[in-house]
Structure 1
């Protein structure tokens, strides 16, 4: 079982991190140029008198000191009230609830595909180290990781949607379709492909490096002497030993994946948190922007902490070091 003191410490760190993140986002969003009233009232704002505009700002709490605004927001947020969206005139949580699953589908699908392919490519490169195949995969990987994700997305749209019409170029499902599994899958193919193409080599290279170092250790030579095949050694010995490092890679990679997914959502007009976050920043929809940034921050920080706990389960020495303040290993 996990040490309760350690769990409390991690939970406390998570809460403090989110509080700091919320304060930073709140201040930056309020100091950014633009008027949230334009998001709230739209074109009708042009016909409002200065007195009406001032009254609207008072009603929305925008005339108060920024510190007063933040603590009022924080007090309401702790009660589960994150305010209304200035753009959609609805509760922020209700708006996010309509699209968060789309981002989850995109991110999880990309994550699974990337790490499945990364493991396979890393093993292929290690087994064929120094050969033409290894050099080809390396060069292709470096080239694909150097291309911006939005450019790859546009090229895929140009070829598969505009030129051939094989796949849809936007949305998460067909408006006139059944919105079933096959329809959602078709709309996911190009966004997921864009993320995979630009992020695959990052994970492949890190796993390959760890695996290359592991396969050069003495116990591998002993396994070969015993007559074990290279494939068996890699899958049943090396992979097991590098898994703590791979889990750390997964945690480090998550922010890159989320960032790439958000960009892809904007290119494909894919209704998710990335698209919603872009609109909230564009229209000064403060309440919406706060919640989206906090959800993203919570996901990244939590994933890092969960990865650390998994590592400690795999390697008890790490757990002992954390609990005892890093004084020694068992």
Structure 2
């Protein structure tokens, strides 16, 4: 098992380097001068040239790439073209805000999908299955921004139950109750957005497991349907579902771009959209590198979790 995990880690390293190479190439092809991210408009030409020389922007591209990758490994993502603030500092503030929103939403959808998927799969083609599958069909086809605006209109504007935008009321940043009021609407939108795909995944796995021989054996021994479903089928359904946890890792950073933008949630999503609108390339590329890296790490985590939960994987060379 250890050999398998080490092998997967070694395979991930070239992919990480490829992501940085693609992003660096896009940065240099973009129609802007990199010196703009480290200078201010009131600097003279001589000062700008001094900065260019000091930061090595006159060096060959391969040298700049090596230095850029080195800076990323040290956590230095550069500076915003628009605000001239450190991207690293902005990410430190915004990533926790995104995680506070996305993580509870995904875990809620994850747990609900297990119950709904098992229920639908064990009642294939019956009214329970049709009802749950109908909900999933509507959820998958429904645009996130449309549902977010509907929730905002009814719960925020018409009935004034929750605040419309933001993460805190100004002056109440330390209030947990105020945070929860702002949290509820985007939480509902994200949970409903994550739930249909996960539910269908569990439903399909449940239907497949119910056809296995061990289910027939348990029925022959007189086991109750509920016991078979949750004690035996559920356990086997959870093994492939664990891979979904690893694949969800990138969502912790970029999984709520639309929702955060609509609700003005101060996370990575709204930060990313504003950077695109302002053509703030250092921020865009930093988030792309971060997102791509998390995709690879998510796949790696899925493989490791699968290896730990399924003994058959240990025999793979």
TM bucket normalised to smaller: 0.7 to 0.9
TM value normalised by structure 1: 0.83
Offset at residue 107 of structure 1 (A): 1.7
Q: Which residue does the alignment assign to 2:84?
A: 89
Q: Which residue does the alignment assign to 2:256?
A: 261
Counterparts of 2:275 and 2:63, CA distance in 1: 22
Q: Secondary structure at the match of 2:256?
A: helix
Question: Are 1:243 and 2:241 matched, yes or no?
Answer: no
* More displaced stretch, 277-286 vs 203-212: 277-286
Counterparts of 1:39 and 1:278, CA distance in 2: 18
Question: Are 1:26 and 2:24 matched, yes or no?
Answer: yes
Question: Are 1:9 and 2:4 matched, yes or no?
Answer: no
The 3 A distance-change label for structure 1 pair 83 and 254 is closer
Offset at residue 52 of structure 1 (A): 8.0
Offset at residue 60 of structure 1 (A): 6.5
Q: 2:144 aligns with which of 143, 149, 168?
A: 149
Deviations for 1:135-192, whole angstroms, at most 9, x for unmatched residues?
1221121011111212211221122112222112221222122433222222221112
TM value normalised by structure 2: 0.86
Counterparts of 2:43 and 2:73, CA distance in 1: 34
The answer (yes or no) to whether the contact 1:210–1:242 under 8 Å persists in 2 is yes
Offset at residue 27 of structure 1 (A): 1.9
Q: Which residue does the alignment assign to 2:164?
A: 169
Structure 2 unaligned residues grouped into runs of 5+: none
The 3 A distance-change label for structure 1 pair 238 and 268 is same
* More displaced stretch, 246-255 vs 186-195: 246-255
Offset at residue 50 of structure 1 (A): 8.0
Counterparts of 1:214 and 1:305, CA distance in 2: 26
Q: Secondary structure at the match of 1:76?
A: helix
Alignment map for 1:1-330 (pairs within 5 Å): 2-3=1-2, 5-33=3-31, 66-255=61-250, 259-321=254-316, 324=317
The answer (yes or no) to whether the contact 1:113–1:196 under 8 Å persists in 2 is yes
Deviations for 1:12-40, whole angstroms, at most 9, x for unmatched residues?
33332222111212222332345677777
The answer (yes or no) to whether the contact 2:106–2:190 under 8 Å persists in 1 is no
Offset at residue 305 of structure 1 (A): 1.4
Q: Secondary structure at the match of 2:80?
A: coil
The answer (yes or no) to whether the contact 1:38–1:283 under 8 Å persists in 2 is no
Structure 1 unaligned residues grouped into runs of 5+: 325-330
The 3 A distance-change label for structure 1 pair 261 and 244 is same
Offset at residue 297 of structure 1 (A): 2.5
Counterparts of 1:319 and 1:202, CA distance in 2: 29
The answer (yes or no) to whether the contact 1:40–1:87 under 8 Å persists in 2 is no
* More displaced stretch, 18-27 vs 8-17: 8-17
* More displaced stretch, 147-156 vs 208-217: 147-156
